[in-house]
Chains A and B, each alone.
Chain A
C-alpha cells in the first residue's frame, strides 16, 4: 500500500452557470483536499454541484474563481495544450455512459488512448491486456461493445482509463446504469485501483450502495460539503488484500 499524500488541493473554487438570465451559483468558495491511495466518494442529490466539482478538479471545467493544485501543478494556470498534456499523462476518466467506440474490440478500446501517449503497438497491447486482466475481462478482449453487457462495458471503460496508469482517477456516476451485482464489481475495481496502484480515486455518485465501499465519504448539498467521514473498514477488496 502506498503512503497517503495530498494529491489534489482545491482552494475556494467557485462556479456559476447562466441559463438564460438566471444565474445559478453551483459552487461558492469550496475547498477540499484529496489523498492518494484512497477512494473518495462524493455523494449528494443531483444538482448539488458534485459533478461540477469533479469537472473543475479534473481540468475539464474552468472555475470562475479559486485555485486547483493537482500533483503539484496549478491546473488552471496551464495553457490549453499544457492542460491536455496533463490530462494525457496523469488522468483517467470513467463516465456514466460507457462511451466506447462501437467499431472497436475491448482490447482496441483500451489500446486507443495509449497510442496518443506515444506507446508502440506491442507495448500498448501488453499494457491493454494487463488492464483487461485486472478488470477480469481478458477472455472477452476480442468482443465489441454490442456483444458485452453493461457491467462489462463499464469495466472496459475502466481498463481504458487504467491502462494509462494514471495517478488521478475520476469516475462520474460509474454505477448508476448498472445492476447491483455489476455496480458492486465496478466499485470493487475502483477501490483496488486506489489501493494497489496508489492512485487518487474520486468517485461522484448518488448511489447509496457505494457509501460503505469508500475510504472517505463527502456529502454535498447546495454546493457545500456537509460532512466528511472516513470509513476505516471500507470494502471487501481491502480485507482480501490484508489477509491473503
Chain B
C-alpha cells in the first residue's frame, strides 16, 4: 500500500506545519500551566518536602501546614517514648510583620522557628549545616534569595520583625512559601518573636525522625492517638504534604481554574489544528474524489486523514515536549516554582493526542465534498 498520508505530510510539510505547531504549543501550554500550578501549590508544602522528617505531629484536622495551631508540649515526651523514634524536633510557627531597612512599609511574613543544630530536620535539604549554625546567633534569620527585593534587604542588613531587631545572615533557595515570605530562624529567636501569647514556647508541629523510615506509615498509625478528642495527630510527611497541596488546589479554586484553562487551550488547539487539516483535505479534494471514483471507499479516505492527524499529534507531542522542557528549564533557572508528576505529564500527552485526533475527525467531514460526481459537473 502506498503511504499516501505520510508521503503527503512530508512533501507538503509547509501546509501541515501550522497544525503541528498548534498541537505543540497547546501541549506546551497545558504542561507549563500544570507545572506552574503544581509548583506554586507544592511550595505550600515546602516546609514538609524540604525537611527530612519522616513523620509530623500537629493539631488534629490541620488541612494545610500554614494553618498550624499550637499543640501541648508534653506531646514531645510521648513521641520520644516510642522505640521506633530516633529524634523529635519542635517546629515553631509564628505570623510576622516585617519592616526592612528600605522603607517598603510592613510586609506580612511567616516565621519558621527551627532547630539550628547541624542534625536538625527542618529544612535539612535547603539549609546546609554551616548556614544553620549561623542561626544560633540571637536574632539571625535566613530567607529565600528570591524574596530579597520584596523584603528590601541584603545579607548582613538588619530589620525589624515583630518589633524585634533581626539580622539577615544568609540566603537559601527553595524556601519560598505560598501567600507570603518565609523567614527561617532558630527556635530561641522564634520564641522571642512570638509575643502576646500565653506560652511563647508552645510550638505548632513536632518533626519526627524514625530509626527505620520505611516503617513510617505503620508508626504514624501507632503514634496517632486515634480518638475523636485527641489533642494532636501524627501524619507521614508524604500524607501531610499531599494534604496541603490538595487543600490549596481545591479550597482556592485553582484546581478548577486549571481545568477551565485546559479546556480553553484544548479548544483553541483543536480549532487551529482542524482548520489546517480541513484546508489540507480541501486542497486535495479532487484527488480524493478521483480515488473514490476508482473505488477507494470513504472509510479508506478517512483513514488517510486520520493517519495524518495522528502523525501531526505525534510530531506535535515531541516538539511540545522539547518546548516545555526549555520553558521549564528557564523557569527553574529563574526560581519560578514548577513541579510535575508522571500522571500530569501523561494526562497532558493524552490531551495533546486528543486535540490532533478530534481535529482529524472534524477534517474527515470535509471529505464529504470529495464526491466524484462533482468532477463531472
Q: Which residue of A lies closest to B293 (CB)?
A: A93
Contact A112 B375 (CB under 8 A): no
Q: Which A57-92 residues have C-beta < 8 A from chain B? A: 58, 60-61, 81, 84-85, 87-89, 91-92
Among listed A114-122, A147-155, A193-201, A227-235, interface-contacting one: A114-122
Contact B1 A121 (CB under 8 A): yes
Residue among A54, A89, A91, A93 having the largest count of chain B Cβ atoms under 10 Å: A93
Contacts of A101 in B (CB 8 A): 4, 7-8, 284, 287
Contact A117 B2 (CB under 8 A): no
Instruction: Tell which of B4, B10, B373 touches A112, judged by Cβ atoms closer than 8 Å.
Output: B4
Interface size on A, residues (CB 8 A): 39
Contact A113 B8 (CB under 8 A): no
Contacts of B289 in A (CB 8 A): 99
Contact A95 B290 (CB under 8 A): yes
Is residue A30 contacting chain B, with contact meaning CB distance below 8 A? no
Q: Which residue of A lies closest to B297 (CB)?
A: A84
Is residue B300 contacting chain A, with contact meaning CB distance below 8 A? yes
Instruction: Tell which of B8, B10, B376 touches A61, judged by Cβ atoms closer than 8 Å.
Output: B376
Indicate whether A85 sits within 8 Å of B295 (C-beta atoms), given known contacts A51-B376, A102-B11, A172-B376. Answer: yes
Contacts of A238 in B (CB 8 A): none
Is residue A213 contacting chain B, with contact meaning CB distance below 8 A? no
Indicate whether A116 sits within 8 Å of B375 (C-beta atoms), given known contacts A99-B290, A101-B287. Answer: no
Instruction: Tell which of B8, B286, B375 touches A103, judged by Cβ atoms closer than 8 Å.
Output: B8
Indicate whether A51 sits within 8 Å of B377 (C-beta atoms), given known contacts A99-B286, A108-B7, A115-B1. Answer: yes
Q: Which B36-65 residues have C-beta < 8 A from chain A? A: none
Residue among A52, A103, A164 having the largest count of chain B Cβ atoms under 10 Å: A103
Residues of B contacting A: mostly? helix
Contact A97 B372 (CB under 8 A): no
Q: Which B286-323 residues have C-beta < 8 A from chain A? A: 286-287, 289-291, 293-297, 300
Is residue B12 contacting chain A, with contact meaning CB distance below 8 A? yes
Contact A102 B294 (CB under 8 A): no
Is residue A161 contacting chain B, with contact meaning CB distance below 8 A? yes
Contact B291 A113 (CB under 8 A): yes
Report the minimal beta-carbon distance from A238 to chain B, rounded to whole angstroms: 28
CA distance A101 to B295 in the complex (A): 16
Is residue A48 contacting chain B, with contact meaning CB distance below 8 A? no
Contacts of B291 in A (CB 8 A): 112-113, 116
CA distance A141 to B293 in the complex (A): 23
Instruction: Tell which of A54, A89, A100, A115 touches B287, judged by Cβ atoms closer than 8 Å.
Output: A100
Q: Which residue of B lies closest to A109 (CB)?
A: B2
CA distance A88 to B375 in the complex (A): 17
Is residue A104 contacting chain B, with contact meaning CB distance below 8 A? yes
CA distance A60 to B349 in the complex (A): 43
Contact B2 A111 (CB under 8 A): yes
Contacts of A178 in B (CB 8 A): none
Contacts of A108 in B (CB 8 A): 2, 7
Report the minimal beta-carbon distance from B319 to chain A, rounded to whole angstroms: 22
Contact B2 A112 (CB under 8 A): yes
Instruction: Tell which of A88, A93, A161 touches B372, judged by Cβ atoms closer than 8 Å.
Output: A93
Q: Which residue of B lies closest to A99 (CB)?
A: B290
Contact B376 A87 (CB under 8 A): no
Contacts of B372 in A (CB 8 A): 60, 93
Contacts of B294 in A (CB 8 A): 87-88, 91-93, 113, 116, 160-161, 164
Interface residues of A (CB under 8 A from B): 51-52, 54-55, 58, 60-61, 81, 84-85, 87-89, 91-93, 95-97, 99-104, 108, 111-113, 115-117, 121, 144, 157, 160-161, 164, 172
Nearest 8 CB-CB pairs, A to B? A88-B295, A103-B11, A115-B1, A99-B290, A103-B8, A61-B373, A51-B376, A60-B373
* Subset of 30 A-B contacts with CB under 8 Å: A51-B376, A52-B376, A54-B376, A58-B293, A60-B293, A60-B372, A60-B373, A60-B376, A88-B296, A89-B295, A91-B295, A92-B294, A95-B286, A99-B290, A99-B375, A100-B287, A103-B4, A103-B8, A104-B4, A108-B7, A112-B2, A113-B295, A113-B296, A115-B2, A116-B295, A116-B297, A116-B300, A157-B290, A161-B294, A164-B294
